[in-house]
Amino acid sequence: MRGLAIDVRFEGRHLLLDLSEGRPVRIPLNWLPVLKAATQEERERFAISMDRQQLFWPEIDEDVNVAALLAFMSNTARR
């Protein structure tokens, strides 16, 4: 799975990552404990790096690498 981050939103217990390839990826917040513990307002204040490979939540000091997250998802799905 590959792609560039276009947008991020939250739905229930999931982070929805919109990728450049046109489909959202559902990521359980259990995999991202800092974001799971954050308020909805804190989650909504994020930035995407210019190369679209990093997600940042400066207020709560959380950074997520898109490629690493997608690789983790891929490896988890194979188990």
- The number of angstroms, rounded, from the C-alpha of 29 to the middle of its chain's C-alpha atoms is 9
Given a cut of 70, whether residue 78 has pLDDT beyond it is no
- What is each CA distance from 1 to 12, 13, 37, 43, in whole angstroms? 23, 22, 27, 24
Q: Structure pTM?
A: 0.86
Where are the domains positioned within the chain?
5-78
Mean of pLDDT values over 12-22: 93
Mean of pLDDT values over 2-30: 92
pLDDT of residue 36: 97
CATH architecture entry for 5-78: 2-Layer Sandwich (3.30)
Given a cut of 60, whether residue 1 has pLDDT beyond it is no
pLDDT of residue 73: 83
pLDDT of residue 3: 82
